[in-house]
Structure 1
Amino acid sequence: MSKLSPTDNLFQALTYLADTIDARAEGQTNDQPSYTAKLLAAGPSKCAKKFGEEAVETVIALTSETNADVANETADLLYHLFVALRSRGVSLEDVGHALAKRQGMSGIIEKENRPKD
């Protein structure tokens, strides 16, 4: 039996997370209270606020806490990012397309090529 690579393991975990968020958004909670459904019902502003709070906690962990704390805060951050994206109707496919367009391109050039508002 082969062991999953770190990339495969992360992919599986993120896929499961996205599927779980989708199920909670669609009311599939097995008669249990759903924090995800509660956040989504509160709307994009609440979801964005929670994402921001988790971002700050992740930054703090990165600067002064253990690697295990960083991993845990990053997991929280990713969860809240996925919920915030769902609250806005932005799919992971949309994000994937945006990332794919940037592959092989310098970050400096990519920023210069972004549409100006």
Structure 2
Amino acid sequence: MSAETLDELFMVIKDRKENPRKESYVCSLFDSGEDRILQKVGEEAVEFILASKSSKREDIIYECADLVFHIMVSLGYKGIELEEIYKELKKRRK
């Protein structure tokens, strides 16, 4: 697993935006709009925090993956590329 995995997932998210599929969870979020997407990001953030407090490694990993996924959906909705996030993180290393 690497940043490549995130890139591949983000490509799927962008594809769902450009080529909607009725059965797609991502498409259902896009159709619901920004408020619903941000609500999901908030819910997943809370679930990640609660999992982190529980100290169960598997729960933390699971909830982190959910949070990252929903953040990526939000970025895709706004037309922000992952590369822009990578560049920002790289700037902060200096």
Per-residue Cα deviation, 1:26-79 (whole angstroms, up to 9, x for no partner): 2264xx600101101222221111001000000000001521111111111111
**SS across alignment from 2:2:** helix
Partners of 2:41 and 2:71 within 8 A in 1: yes
Q: Percent identity over the alignment? A: 34
Structure 1 ranges of 4+ moved more than 2 A: none
Query: Where is the helix percentage greater, Structure 1 or Structure 2?
Result: 2
| Unaligned 5+ runs, structure 2 | none
Aligned position for 2:42: 52
Whose relative contact order is higher, 1 or 2, with alpha carbons under 8 Å and at least 6 apart? 2
- CA RMSD, 1 decimal: 1.6
| Unaligned 5+ runs, structure 1 | 1-8, 105-117
Whether 1:17 and 2:31 are equivalent positions in the alignment is no
Q: With the length of structure 2 as denominator, give the TM-score of the two structures.
A: 0.88
Return the index of the structure with the highest Cα Rg.
Answer: 1
- C-alpha distance in 2 between matches for 1:90 and 1:23: 14
Q: With the length of structure 1 as denominator, give the TM-score of the two structures.
A: 0.72
